[in-house]
Amino acid sequence: MISKIVFFGDSITAAYRTVHNPLGDGYVSILKDLFSTNSDLGGIQFVNSGINGHMVGDLLKRYQADVLDHKPDAVVIKIGINDAYNDFISGGGGNHIRKYVTDLDRLIHILGTDLPLAQLFLFTPYLISDSSSEPFYLRMNEYCEVVKSQGQKRTIPVLDVQSVFDTAVKQRPAREWAEDQIHPQHEGHSLIASAAFAFLKDQIT
């Protein structure tokens, strides 16, 4: 059984974390509460290493202090929303997503090499949209596919968060989950946490 899990990502993971509130107010904190209700999982220590605005290249600059130094038994990588956003607003062209592929591959390789006994998990990025033909949604989906491809390539379990919200918007409009379609309200974070709990609880050993 693992004793410590690090969540490595951007503002969705950070969710207003502070020194006095190290798990933040989002899915990481809610997930910790869900784990605490399970006698087999309640003792696992959670570390929130999300930072607002970060892209996968930023994670490559801080993995030592924010992941390796914690000596985790498991790492969840959730990154790509800012990469996709910067790609989209710049008009694309292919350079952004090629860099994302390269940097994510490198990050996974480093963590897998330096933490050979740790379990790695990938969470896809997402856009909460009422339309699957929205241009930004289509661009985000390309980044989701990169994450899925990395999971398949390296036999790493992948939680498809985009699919979770695609199902959710069939019940309630996108902006009721997140006004900006990206940063969820509490119920949106709870949705991620519930999906993550179902995804992780049977895979963590």
Structural domains of the chain, count: 1
* Residue 47 located in a structural domain: yes
Domain enclosing residue 74, as ranges: 4-200
Q: Where are the beta strands (DSSP E) in 111-170?
A: 119-123, 158-159
Q: Tokens 């030592």 correspond to what residue? A: 64
Q: Where are the beta strands (DSSP E) in the chain?
A: 4-9, 45-50, 74-78, 119-123, 158-159
* Residue 114 located in a structural domain: yes
Q: Tokens 């399970």 correspond to what residue? A: 38
* Residue 126 located in a structural domain: yes
Residue 121, strand partner residues? 76
Q: How far apart are CA 112 and CA 73, in angstroms?
A: 11
Could you report the per-residue pLDDT of 159-185, keeping only the tens digit for each? 999 999 999 999 999 999 999 999 999
Could you report the per-residue pLDDT of 8-64, keeping only the tens digit for each? 999 999 999 999 999 999 999 999 999 999 878 889 999 999 999 999 999 999 999
pLDDT band at 205, cuts 50/70/90?
Answer: low
Q: What is the CATH number of the domain that holds 50?
A: 3.40.50.1110
Which tokens hold the place of 37?
Answer: 């209700």
* Residue 36 located in a structural domain: yes
pLDDT band at 93, cuts 50/70/90?
Answer: confident
Could you report the per-residue pLDDT of 104-154, keeping only the tens digit for each? 999 999 999 999 999 999 999 999 999 999 999 999 999 999 999 999 999
* Residue 156 located in a structural domain: yes
* Residue 205 located in a structural domain: no
* Contact assessment for residue 111 and residue 75, using Cβ atoms and an 8 Å cutoff: yes
* Residue 145 located in a structural domain: yes
Could you report the per-residue pLDDT of 178-187, keeping only the tens digit for each? 999 999 999 9
* Residue 195 located in a structural domain: yes
